[in-house]
Each structure stands twice: as structure tokens, then as C-alpha cells.
Amino acid sequence: MKHLLGKARLASRIAAGSFFIVTVLASSHVLARDAATQRIKQLEQNLQTIQIELEKIKSESAQAAQKVNSIEQTTNQTVQQVNTIQQSNSVMEARIAPVIERVDQKSHMLFFRGGFTHAMQDRNGVTLQSNVAPVGAQDVADKNGFYVGAGLDWNLTNDVWGAAPGTSVFAELMFEYKEFGNRVQGNALANSPTQLAGGALNPRNVTVSQFTLSAAPKIKFLEGSKIRPWIIPAGLAIHVISPPSESITVLTPGVMFGAGVDYNIWKDFYVGIDGRYNLTAGKADGVRVDGMTAGAYAGIGF
């Protein structure tokens, strides 16, 4: 009996130990499962955080890409604007360059002339051959003579106001002195003493001359070249004659035509040749002063 009770106690102890061990093992398994669950939850949270960060990075990348595109567009626009400005500058330089060149070349000119002159008709006058006082020496001046003068070319345009590139228009203001003789024997009014008062034939020398003041447009070709031909299509000329006509007239208006060539020899120094013709409307109180000149000139640009 005691032996059975001992076995029963042993069996109960074994059963209690087994139960305890099973309980402990079950508790450990439950704890392990709970820890794994917590770890999984933590991993899920970490993944969500990483996903949020990735979405944030994607959004920031998209914004950065937009900024880059915006910068590229701005850069392209800037480049286009720079190109436009460069083209505008090129156009302006092309327009300004001739102006600068004109300033550098000193388009205006002061010139001095001299040469041969020829009158188309013999000159008479109050102290020369005279129909009013046909007394004393009735001498006439030579038709040929010399002239000296000076003038100013003032540049108005280098392209005929846009109509003809390379062709300049100048305003010319010029004066010249012509002389056809200074030893022409005078009539009774130029006699010492005058024959009208009973004096003997003793004629005085008379200088036959003419002063011309003219204003005209001058058209010069080949802008920028060292050789520049030019023409004067028509200009106004006022002639002052000496001695006066027999009616004591000294002024005669007319028209002047001309042509010539400039040559730039060095820097602002020029030489040239020209020919001009003066035409008047008939005689002025018996005197006609039509004539021509041919000669050379030297000019200084300014």
C-alpha cells in the first residue's frame, strides 16, 4: 500500500512537473510570437517611413526637374535675347559705321581753285570799247584769262537720303575772281586827262575782271574711294563785272554747271580737277558774261 502511494505521489509529481514544463514552453512560445509580431509591426512602420521618404524624395526630384526645366527655358530665352541683341548691335554697327567713317574721313572740305577761263563774247563797257562815247582808244579785252577762287563743300548725305547708297550730296558755296587783262587801253573816260575835256589821246590801262559767287548742289560718287568723280547739275551764280556796262550795270545772275574729280592724296588732303560753265540769260545792258573755267584745286577735309 505504501508502495502504491509512493508511486502515486511520484506520478503526480511527474505530471505536475510536466504541466509546469509545458506551461513554461507554451508561455515562451507565446512570448516569442508576440516579439515577432512586434518586430513585424516595427518593420512595417519602418517600411512605411521609408516609403514616405521615397515619395518625398520623388516629389522633391520632380520639383527639382521642373526647376531645371524652368532654368533651361530661362537660359534659352536669355540666349535668344542675347542673339537678338547681338543682331541688333550688328545692324546698329552697320548703320553707325558709315557715320563714324564719315566723321573719320572729314566729309566737309575747304578747297582753293585756279586755272584757265574763257569768255564766250568780247567785253565792252563804260571805259572800254563804247558805243556811247566812241572817242579815244576803242580797245577790247582778250577772251582768255585766268581765275583763282575758293569754296566750301558741306556734306548733306552719303546715300542721297537712302535713295542711292555710295553717292553723296554736298552743298557747295564758292567764289572766284577772273581776269581777262589789265592793260586794256581805255576810251575817252579812261584818258588822262579825259578827251571829253579836250585832252590829247593818252589812254589809261583798264583791268577787265569778273567776280562770281555761286551756290550749288554737288553730287559725288564712289563713297569710300580715294577717287571720287562729281557733277553739279545746276547752281545759282551771281556775276559782278568790272568795268561796268555802258549803262553802269555790274550784277548779272546766271546758271552754273560743273564736273570734276577728287583724289585723296593723304589723310584729309585732296587734289582735283574741274570744269565749269556759266550761262546767263542774254545780255545785260549790252554785256554778256557767259564763259567757262578749267583748272585744278587743292582741298582740306574737316
Residues 12-32 pLDDT 10s: 667 666 666 656 555 566 566
Kindly state whether residues 249 and 268 are assigned to the same domain: yes
Kindly state whether residues 231 and 286 are assigned to the same domain: yes
Kindly state whether residues 114 and 202 are assigned to the same domain: yes
CA dihedral 82, 84, 85, 87 (to 10 degrees): 120
DSSP category for residue 281: S
To which residue does cell 537678338 refer? 84
- pLDDT of residue 247 exceeding 80: yes
Give the pLDDT of residue 101. 44
| 255 Cβ contact list (under 8 Å, min separation 6) | 234, 235, 236, 237, 278, 279, 280
Q: Which of 105, 138, 163 is the last residue of a domain?
A: 105
Kindly state whether residues 202 and 77 are assigned to the same domain: no
Kindly state whether residues 55 and 39 are assigned to the same domain: yes
Kindly state whether residues 149 and 70 are assigned to the same domain: no
- pLDDT of residue 128 exceeding 80: yes
CB atoms within 10 A of CB 91: 10
Kindly state whether residues 113 and 48 are assigned to the same domain: no
Q: Is 204 helix (H, G, I), strand (E, B) or coil?
A: coil
Give the pLDDT of residue 177. 98
Kindly state whether residues 142 and 84 are assigned to the same domain: no
- pLDDT tens sequence across 175-206: 999 999 998 988 888 888 887 777 888 888 89
Q: Are 203 and 185 in contact (CB under 8 A)?
A: yes
- pLDDT tens sequence across 51-65: 888 888 888 878 877
| 88 Cβ contact list (under 8 Å, min separation 6) | none
**162 versus 75: which is more confidently predicted?**
162
Report in angstroms the alpha-carbon separations of 228 from 103, 138, 166, 299. 17, 47, 10, 13
**Tally of structural domains, the chain:** 2
Q: How far apart are CA 63 and CA 28, in angstroms?
A: 52
- pLDDT of residue 135 exceeding 60: yes
Q: Are 237 and 214 in contact (CB under 8 A)?
A: yes
Taking the whole predicted model, whether its pTM rises above 0.75 is answered as no
Instruction: Give the CATH number of the domain where residue 212 resides.
Output: 2.40.160.20
For the chain, the first-to-last Cα distance in angstroms comes to 155
Kindly state whether residues 81 and 189 are assigned to the same domain: no
Kindly state whether residues 96 and 111 are assigned to the same domain: no
Q: How far apart are CA 134 and CA 187, in angstroms?
A: 7
Q: Which of 105, 130, 161 is the last residue of a domain?
A: 105
**34 versus 162: which is more confidently predicted?**
162
Q: How far apart are CA 133 and CA 207, in angstroms?
A: 19
Element (H, E) at 68: helix 2-105
Q: How far apart are CA 145 and CA 211, in angstroms?
A: 13
Q: Which of 90, 105, 120 is the last residue of a domain?
A: 105
| 67 Cβ contact list (under 8 Å, min separation 6) | none
Mean pLDDT of the chain: 85
Q: How far apart are CA 110 and CA 124, in angstroms?
A: 35
Domain span at residue 149 reads: 106-301
- pLDDT of residue 103 exceeding 60: no
Kindly state whether residues 199 and 249 are assigned to the same domain: yes
DSSP category for residue 166: T
Q: Are 240 and 254 in contact (CB under 8 A)?
A: no
Kindly state whether residues 116 and 231 are assigned to the same domain: yes
For 90-99, 226-235, 271-280, which range has the lowest pLDDT when averaged over its residues? 90-99
